Each structure stands twice: as C-alpha cells, then as structure tokens.
C-alpha cells in the first residue's frame, strides 16, 4: 500500500472533488481518494502495483493540473 499526495490548486468545490474522486477510483488498485478542499490536496492510497503515472493521468483526465 502506498499513499501519495498531490497539490491541485484548482479544486474549488464539491464538483471538483467528485470529478477527481470518480476518475481516480476507476483505476485498478486505487483504494482511497481523499480531497482536501481547503488545502487543495489530493491524497491517493493504492496498492504498490499502481504506477504513479496512472494517478497523474487520472487527475489530468479529470481536468486538473498538478502543481509541482
Ligand atoms: Cu469545482
């Protein structure tokens, strides 16, 4: 199990939260997605086999950019 946190500055409402959550939970091996609206952080818990790239793509797919 691995937990990764991303800074996603454009999350602004519950709509954004569900877009990201829906997109990421579709990825095989993703177990938990937590979006902190106030701090603009997306935390993803997944099995070790999920490539990081997949998660980044999911966030992109939902229409959001990750701040590096
Ligand atoms: Cu929104």
CATH of the domain at 25: 3.30.70.100
Q: Strands 30-36 and 2-7, how do they pair?
A: unpaired
pLDDT at 39: 98
Domain carrying residue 16? 2-61
| Cα(40) to centroid(ligand 1), Å | 11
| Cα(13) to centroid(ligand 1), Å | 4
Cα dihedral 34, 36, 40, 43 sign: negative
Share of the chain above pLDDT 70, in %: 100
pLDDT exceeds cutoff 90 at 68: no
- pTM of the entire structure? 0.95
Residue 46 maps to a domain = yes
Residue 68 maps to a domain = no
Confidence of residue 36 (pLDDT cuts 50, 70, 90): very high
Confidence of residue 20 (pLDDT cuts 50, 70, 90): very high
| Cα(3) to centroid(ligand 1), Å | 24
| Cα(9) to centroid(ligand 1), Å | 11
Residue 66 maps to a domain = no
Residues facing residue 44 across a β-bridge: 4, 33
Domain total of the chain? 1
């Amino acid at each position: 199990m691995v937990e990764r946190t991303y800074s996603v500055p454009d999350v602004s409402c519950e709509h954004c939260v569900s877009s990201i959550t829906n997109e990421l939970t579709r990825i095989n091996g993703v177990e938990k997605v937590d979006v902190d609206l106030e701090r603009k952080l997306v935390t993803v818990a997944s099995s070790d086999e999920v490539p990081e790239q997949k998660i980044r793509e999911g966030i992109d797919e939902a229409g959001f950019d990750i701040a590096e």
